[in-house]
Amino acid sequence: MVLWLWRGLTFTCHCFVLGIVRLWILMCGMLTANMSIMACPSSCHCIDKNGLTVVQCMSRNLEKIPPDLPRDTVVLLLAANHITHIPNHAFRELHYLQELDLSSNDIETVDPGAFQGVSDSLLMLDLSNNHIQSVPKEAFARLRAKISLSNNPWHCECTLQEVLRELRLDPETVNEVICHTAVQEEYAGKPVIHVLDSGINFCNFHHKTTDVAMFVTMFGWFTMVIAYVIYYVRHNQEDARRHLEYLKSLPSNSQISKDFDTISTVL
């Protein structure tokens, strides 16, 4: 009887200890996961504003986007740094991101998949005051955010026209999206929207330029073929003339017969 009670007590204690261990492991795992989600980059300052995680990385001399941003970030402020490039999947883990400020950087290139992963959640994107001349059409695909693209050295051509057609531009800064250069120089220095609203189609210029280039190339090939044919004919004519002069220089059959008769008579 005592042995039975001892075994039961031992089993109960074992189960109790095992339960505590499992609970401890679970709590540690949850704490670790929570810390990984809430971790703040050393170069930034993270605050909780009305239950929303705001990550402030402004004026920190950053040259690239921090890779270890909290996954629950709602507002990300990266303005006034030295970021030059937005790579593919730069914000892929930030599924709650609503506002992204990349203004006043040195951004020159934006990869096609730069904003993949935040296209559904993002509501505001600021790329103003950078060095962007052009962007691939895929970069802003499916973005519903209000976007500011003002004060960039845009090159106005067909791709930019197709990009702008799909975007929801910030109405307060839309007139500050200026053609720094253009396929037609007369449009440089003018707001892109005003140029497009006037009926100008940069894609038509692109096609015309392509047609002219093809015509010039074909004309060049045609000229080369004609020049070769002329050279070939003249070269053959010269060879034929020399061959004819050579034949004329040969003694005729009648002269050879006369010489043979003369030799026979002498003999």
Q: For 175-193, how does the pLDDT look when each residue is reduced to its tens digit (9 = 90+)? A: 999 999 999 999 999 999 9
The pLDDT of residue 165 is above 60: yes
The closest alpha carbon to 44, from 73, 75, 78, belongs to: 78
pLDDT at 39 (0 to 100) = 83
* Surface-to-core class of residue 132, CB atoms within 10 Å of its CB (0-12 exposed, 13-18 middle, 19+ buried): buried
CB 74 within 8 A of CB 53: yes
- What is each CA distance from 159 to 113, 118, 148, 154, 200, in whole angstroms? 16, 23, 18, 11, 14
45-200 to CATH, choices 3.40.800.20, 3.90.79.10, 3.40.30.10, 3.80.10.10? 3.80.10.10
pLDDT at 219 (0 to 100) = 57
CB 77 within 8 A of CB 56: yes
Chain centre distance of CA 251: 79
Query: How would residue 28 be classed by pLDDT, with cut points 50, 70 and 90?
Result: very low
Q: What is the mean pLDDT of residues 68-87?
A: 97
User: Amino acid identity of 199?
Assistant: G
**Helix, strand, or coil (residue 157):** coil
Judged by average pLDDT, the poorest of 22-31, 150-159, 222-231 is 22-31
Query: How would residue 195 be classed by pLDDT, with cut points 50, 70 and 90?
Result: very high
The closest alpha carbon to 86, from 122, 111, 104, belongs to: 111
Judged by average pLDDT, the poorest of 22-31, 83-92, 145-154 is 22-31
Please give the sequence-ordered ranges of beta strands (E in DSSP) within the chain, or none if there are none: 45-49, 52-56, 73-77, 85-86, 99-101, 109-110, 124-126, 146-148, 154-156, 168-169, 179-182
The pLDDT of residue 157 is above 90: yes
pLDDT at 224 (0 to 100) = 75
Contacts of 159 (CB under 8 A, 6+ apart): 134, 135, 136, 137
Question: Cα dihedral sign for 77, 82, 84, 87?
Answer: negative
The pLDDT of residue 29 is above 60: no
